[in-house]
Structure 1
Amino acid sequence: MRKRQMGTKSETTRLQQEIKQLIDELGWKQNLIAEKIYYEENDTDNEDELRRFQERFKKELSRGTTKPERLKKYLSMIPDLPGAEGIDLVSNKFVPTGAISDALVTGLKAISKEIDTEIRIYKSTPEIK
């Protein structure tokens, strides 16, 4: 009998796409973000362990068997990584999957960007902080 995985394959795929999109928005490579995540989680400076983690991270972003919980952990860490200040604040933003028209994709991206702008304005207003 097969053991049932937590989460679904489509959830894993969606989370992988969201992480890849955030990496692209930051202008980083997968190795760089893996290095930043590694150093956030580890106090050691072991080059071999870092390289192993970088390879595992890249595989986790491409394999359908990656546990969604692990991907969610990475997603929650990315906005707090050094140099990630310019990333979109909306964590549940739209990630295109090809299931809807390009016009609707454009509209959803615009909505996401507008929400992000409003959040930034709200957070930068001194009397609100």
Structure 2
Amino acid sequence: MSKFIIPLGLFLMLGCLSCTDGSQEIQEKAEIWQWSDNKLKEQEAIVLMQDLARAQQYEAALEQFEWLTTYNPGLHHSIYLDGLGIYEQMINNCDDTEDMLKLSVQQEKVKQLMKTYFPEHAIQKL
């Protein structure tokens, strides 16, 4: 039985190592934050944006998102994912068709901006 388990274990281990080689570089790149000289303000804006979104204060969260993408649009792809989620919630909670359309247009602009700065993480359809 051990004659079978040891080669199987080695085969699986080598297979796993070869699978992670290409994706490790992408994963490492995804974890890099491009902080500016104002790192503390950026971190504060991220925390505020996420907390406000959790508290369903989407307009206030959107202000933080807009500041982040204006001040440092290449900070990190996750900022855009948060922003897209905020827009999605605002669209879902919207009763006015005209406002919903405006929000959808803004959401598409965020997708395009994300595609510009983070093409490997860009979302084609949400």
What is the TM-score of this pair, normalised by structure 2? 0.27
Q: Decide which structure has the larger Cα Rg and report it.
A: 2
What is the TM-score of this pair, normalised by structure 1? 0.26
Query: Between Structure 1 and Structure 2, which shows a larger proportion of helix residues?
Result: 2
Q: Which has the higher contact order (CA 8 A, sep 6+)?
A: 1
